[in-house]
Amino acid sequence: MLVALVALIVVVGLLRPNFLQPTTLFQQLSGAAFIGVLALGMVFVVSIRDIDLSVGWIFNFSAVIAAKAMVLGVDPWIAAGIGIAFGAFLGLINGVLAVWLRIPVIIITLGTFSAFRGLSLVVNESRAVVPPDKTGSFFALFDVKLFGLIPSVAVAFVVLAVILHLVLHRTRFGYRVQAMGSNPDAARLGGIPVDRTRILVLVLMGAIAGLTGAMFLGFREAIDPVTGGDYLLPVVAAVIIGGTPLSGGRGTIVGAVVGALIIQVITTGILFLGVDVKWSTFVTGAVIILAVAVDQLVRRQRERRTRDTVDLG
């Protein structure tokens, strides 16, 4: 996928040389930040063989709550923290319902998708929520560019990716997540608290969605009633394109970053080439199919090599 990303950049750059300017390239990282951060959390969910369909509306609802708190006079930093905590709470609802009712997360979140959307529309009164004072340090932070080139949201994206990569591959929690996805029954027999781990994964997903909502609010200085509603496809696409299989058992944070960048480059490249932006959705779907096909071919080849090694042994 990294080769595919570089190839996409080169092809668009050859056709439109302006695309290769440093400012434009760093803008790709910034443009992929919000989808990318959500994809980082979704890697954990997919790794346990689940999908959270409500992630876009947790993002939106959390941002609305944070913005409403600012409208009421709460300090923006505290309001952002409230938004993150609220996202974690919505994730907790998803997790508790899934465990209590013994229903797959994808079914539970199919319901909470509509519930969170409806409640968000009630709270924001179907209007954009705009904080009245945008002169504080919270909003100023999102205007900062590292070395005058790299937007702060891009820096936050990379830092979060590093942290969550370490969590997934260097902590007991990450080990439990991948063990659950690999074989839930064996994980339970091995003493792993499967139900608690599933709840914690969904709480983490909710908190990351809340954090993304707070970042979006600081960056855009407002949140409208529909933002986030169409995030699910690109988020899941970034995870799958990046190499995390829907069968669970393993996940790649780095792959999710690359996947999000591929989607962003496709969208921006289509605009640079003068093609109707509607085609970006089609191309994204085609890339998902290609990524899944490649993953299956690689897996079958590995299994064949393993069998050949065993036969030779």
pLDDT in tens, 210-229: 999 999 999 998 999 988 88
Instruction: Give the whole-angstrom CA distance, residue 295 versus residue 273.
Output: 29
What DSSP state is assigned to residue 277? Answer: T
How high is the pLDDT of residue 256?
Answer: 93
How high is the pLDDT of residue 233?
Answer: 86
Global pTM reads 0.90
Domain limits, the chain: 33-258
Instruction: Give the whole-angstrom CA distance, residue 45 versus residue 65.
Output: 24
How high is the pLDDT of residue 313?
Answer: 58
How high is the pLDDT of residue 59?
Answer: 96
In sequence order, what E strands does 230-289 have? none
How high is the pLDDT of residue 134?
Answer: 84
How high is the pLDDT of residue 311?
Answer: 59
How high is the pLDDT of residue 308?
Answer: 65
How high is the pLDDT of residue 309?
Answer: 64
Using the structure block, give the residue that is written with the tokens 């960048």: 261
Instruction: Give the whole-angstrom CA distance, residue 21 versus residue 26.
Output: 9
Which stretches in the chain have pLDDT values below 70?
277, 295, 306-313
Contact 90, 54 (CB under 8 A): yes
Instruction: Give the whole-angstrom CA distance, residue 227 versus residue 221.
Output: 13
